[in-house]
């Protein structure tokens, strides 16, 4: 995935990660992240909101409490997921672990 300068600067400012670590995080988000098609309820509404507010995006993923917004194979921006979304994901992960 191509990382735009804007996306790199946003994540660098928000997390302090180095470029190599950031690239690894982006690749992991593609594989392990929560995607719009895998959601329902409040989480789906949040994905819809992010999609509509970033009109030129084609994919949104949440991974490690960050929202990754991309267009095609280019990562556009990264921002922290709101606290209530982090809580939803934590509860979702807990339920999945109980079902295993």
Q: What is the pLDDT of residues 71-96, one digit of tens each?
A: 888 888 888 999 999 998 888 777 66
Q: Say if strands 2-3 and 74-80 run parallel, antiparallel, or are unpaired.
A: parallel
Number of domains forming the structure of the chain: 1
Measured between alpha carbons, how far is residue 7 from residues 42, 52, 59 in Å? 26, 18, 14
Q: What is the pLDDT of residues 5-15, one digit of tens each?
A: 888 888 888 87
At what angle are helices 41-53 and 83-99 packed, to 10 degrees?
Answer: 140
Q: What is the DSSP letter of 5?
A: H
Average the pLDDT over 41-55 and give the result: 88
Q: Is the pLDDT of residue 99 over 70?
A: no
Q: Specify the length of the chain in residues.
A: 100
Can you give the residue range of the structural domain that contains 68?
A: 2-99
Residue 46 near residue 85 (C-beta atoms within 8 A): yes
Q: Is the pLDDT of residue 34 over 70?
A: yes
What pLDDT sits at residue 8?
A: 82
């Amino acid at each position: 995935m191509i990382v735009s300068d804007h996306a790199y600067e946003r994540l660098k400012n928000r997390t302090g990660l180095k470029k190599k670590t950031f690239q690894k995080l982006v690749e992991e988000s593609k594989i392990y992240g929560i995607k719009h098609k895998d959601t329902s309820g409040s989480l789906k509404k949040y994905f819809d909101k992010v999609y509509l507010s970033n009109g030129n995006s084609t994919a949104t993923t949440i991974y490690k409490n960050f929202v990754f917004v991309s267009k095609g194979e280019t990562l556009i921006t990264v921002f922290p997921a709101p606290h209530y979304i982090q809580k939803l994901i934590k509860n979702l992960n807990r339920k999945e672990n109980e079902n295993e």
